[in-house]
Structure 1
């Protein structure tokens, strides 16, 4: 199988939620994707930052739209960790979550932030 790669930009709106009892912040994410991956994403993110600057986040995002003109949807699973020295971010397509023409999609996504602009690179396989 051939791994395909698409890239483009996205706009994101982060809406903080009021959870005073919880030890982490919860936000609703709303995204608009532009380029070969075109559509919208909505999800929830949990995050925690401590005084020394270390932080962690996880999110579940539902994408609906098209990838290389194939229509459908799938779930993205985010996991991030930052320390003073290191930053890791892993984003996977949840296996089996694809629908429509994207029903057999699998892969990973990278997010690149440059000059306040968000870019994505999606590496995927369609069985």
Structure 2
């Protein structure tokens, strides 16, 4: 098992969905990934709080289909984010969700939005 790292970027389209719980929001989304992680993903985000005031939290799951450093397959990404003055985001490959050449993948993703886009550093291992 070796540690691997690559970079990618994505564009995202968000569409509001019907809230599943009172006092929450829901968004369905699709992404196009380019770079070391290339393909498409679709997912669902649930949020709560007051994003306009900078105080909110969200969770999301998305199914990525494509390639990672030339390895083909699919994998589910899970996200956990909070805003409370500062933003934090945990973004990982869901354990046990990799298929084909991505079976056994684990790792995390870091997103940088400082340049106005979604630039991503991916660190992963394949068992």
Give me the TM-score of the superposition, normalised by structure 1. 0.92
Query: How many residues in Structure 1 have an aligned counterpart in Structure 2?
Result: 126
Cα distance in 1 between the residues matched to 2:105 and 2:20: 38
Contact 2:13 2:29 in 1 (8 A): yes
- What is the rounded CA distance, in whole Å, between the counterparts of 1:2 and 1:32 in structure 2? 27
Deviations 1:6-46 (A, max 9, x none): 11211000111133863111000100000010001100001
Q: Show the counterpart of 1:81.
A: 82
Aligned-residue RMSD, C-alpha: 1.6
Structure 2 unpaired stretches of 5+: none
Query: Under a length normalisation based on structure 2, what TM-score does the superposition of the two structures give?
Result: 0.92
User: Paired residue for 1:59?
Assistant: 60
Give the corresponding residue for 1:95.
95
